[in-house]
């Protein structure tokens, strides 16, 4: 550990020496901040609330909803191959998404302390540990590697932090036996940090290869009947920084399209009341709940509805793109044939948005006025039809990321079982 960057040495030292009371206080703060069920607080301390099944167990650490969605089909593939899959998340919404994958076990991610991570690993004894995209924790990686558990970083995306802190990034990435990158540029970026090239693959974006979210056909029919022939658009995964622009856009759009209706789905459903107040302040009538009623805006403050929304709305604005969030996954909407609009701040999904923009399936809008002009100018036009057709073409060309990633993970687990197989990596 003496040769590693000092921030890592400081973190590892602090995570080793943290008193139990401080550990509990930190876990409680994180847990309450996520509005998680009180009975599950102990999971943040590494204490399991589920038994470990017999046999091979693959652990996937996926911070929140987007990361879970990107590996949902891969988790099903692993279970079909005979492995139990455990998904850990930081967020409550991510946990809810994980629990919708039939057969998957869910626990909250343990704190990055020596005691919590060791309790977690003692109980679950994974045959393989996978981290999704970029949520890397030094103590968790160190303790896992020390047990000779193969480590894989899945679906690595572009990251400014790798450039800002290359020594720290290199030390953390050196732990991994396998890294799969969303694209060739990310693969080259990681290889330049010193990770052996034969450990870094670029099979493509797992989010693009994922099956689109399902929708109950009976409910979809009822919703289509409820909206009828009204001009319709949607704003999905919005944050506070997006919603003023969405309100501006809707007010502008309905000038050109009388009777225009909007489906508004905040990224975090517990913000529903705040969003409803903002809509009311703008003079907009909103309906909350399972059905839109006759209201101009259906405010969807519940999880699991995007499969319906993307099938209903021909034009979708994807949130997280006017504020600091860095954008959200556009592939699900594109897979269901929706044309996409997004703001300029999409660094966390830059490659995906660039691909869809270049194909004519998506457009960037700079602010609420531009969003309103796009909504008003596209609804009911051949240009909108062309964007939707382009989305369908792009998605038809994507699909190899998942099987290639599965084969690489199976090879990694097989190598562990061979004599002289995977050994623990050097400490960062």
Q: What is the pLDDT of residues 18-72, one digit of tens each?
A: 667 667 787 788 888 888 899 999 999 999 999 999 999 999 999 898 899 899 9
3-state SS class at 123: helix
3-state SS class at 283: coil
CA distance 258 to 102: 43
Question: Does residue 427 surpass a pLDDT of 60?
Answer: no
Confidence of residue 349 (pLDDT cuts 50, 70, 90): confident
pTM of the predicted model as reported, rounded to 2 decimal places: 0.73
Question: Does residue 418 surpass a pLDDT of 70?
Answer: no
User: Shortest CA distance to 30 belongs to which of 128, 108, 107, 138?
Assistant: 108
- Give the CA-trace dihedral at 420, 422, 423, 428, to 10 degrees: 150
Q: What is the pLDDT of residues 204-214, one digit of tens each?
A: 889 888 888 88
Average pLDDT over every residue of 153-168: 87
pLDDT at 426: 41
The end-to-end CA distance of the chain, in Å, is: 6
Tokens of residue 146, six digits: 């020390």
pLDDT at 423: 45
Tokens of residue 170, six digits: 């290199």
Question: Does residue 2 surpass a pLDDT of 50?
Answer: no
399 with 209: CB under 8 angstroms? Answer: yes
Average confidence score pLDDT of the chain: 91
Q: Which domains does the chain have, with CATH numbers?
A: 6-204+401-417 (3.40.50.11720), 217-396 (3.40.50.2000)
Query: How do beta strands 105-108 and 128-132 pair?
Result: unpaired
Task: List the beta strands (DSSP E) in 141-187.
Answer: 151-156, 178-181
């Amino acid at each position: 550990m003496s040769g590693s960057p000092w921030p890592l040495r400081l973190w590892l030292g602090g995570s080793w020496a943290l008193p139990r009371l401080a550990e509990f206080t930190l876990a409680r703060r994180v847990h309450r901040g996520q509005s998680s069920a009180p009975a599950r607080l102990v999971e943040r301390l590494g204490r399991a609330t589920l038994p470990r099944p017999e046999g091979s167990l693959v652990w996937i650490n996926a911070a929140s909803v987007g990361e879970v969605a990107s590996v949902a089909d891969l988790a099903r593939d692993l279970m079909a191959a005979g492995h139990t899959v455990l998904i850990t998340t930081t967020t409550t919404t991510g946990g809810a998404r994980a629990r919708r994958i039939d057969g998957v076990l869910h626990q909250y991610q343990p704190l990055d302390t020596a005691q919590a991570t060791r309790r977690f690993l003692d109980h679950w004894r994974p045959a393989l540990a996978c981290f999704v995209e970029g949520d890397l924790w030094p103590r968790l990686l160190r303790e896992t590697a020390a047990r000779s558990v193969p480590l894989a970083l899945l679906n690595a995306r572009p990251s400014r932090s790798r450039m800002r802190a290359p020594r720290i990034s290199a030390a953390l990435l050196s732990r991994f036996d396998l890294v799969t990158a969303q694209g060739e540029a990310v693969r080259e970026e990681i290889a330049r940090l010193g990770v052996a090239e034969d450990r870094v693959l670029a099979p493509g974006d797992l989010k693009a290869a994922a099956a689109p979210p399902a929708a109950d056909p009976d409910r979809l029919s009822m919703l289509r009947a409820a909206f009828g022939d009204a001009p319709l658009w949607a704003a999905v995964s919005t944050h506070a920084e997006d919603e003023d622009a969405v309100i501006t856009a809707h007010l502008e759009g309905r000038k050109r399209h009388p009777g225009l209706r909007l489906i508004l789905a905040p990224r975090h459903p517990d913000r529903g009341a705040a969003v409803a107040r903002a809509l009311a302040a703008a003079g907009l009538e909103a309906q909350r709940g399972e059905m839109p009623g006759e209201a101009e805006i259906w405010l969807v403050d519940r999880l699991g509805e995007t499969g319906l929304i993307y099938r209903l709305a021909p034009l979708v604005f994807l949130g997280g793109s006017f504020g600091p969030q860095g954008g959200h996954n556009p592939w699900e909407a594109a897979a269901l044939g929706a044309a996409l609009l997004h703001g300029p701040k999409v660094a966390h999904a830059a490659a995906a948005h660039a691909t869809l923009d270049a194909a004519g399936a998506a457009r960037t809008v700079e602010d609420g006025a531009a969003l309103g002009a796009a909504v008003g100018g596209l609804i009911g036009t051949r240009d909108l039809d062309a964007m939707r057709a382009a989305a369908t073409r792009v998605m038809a060309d994507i699909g190899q990321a998942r099987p290639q990633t599965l084969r690489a993970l199976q090879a990694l687990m097989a190598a562990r079982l061979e004599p002289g197989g995977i050994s623990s990596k050097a400490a960062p």
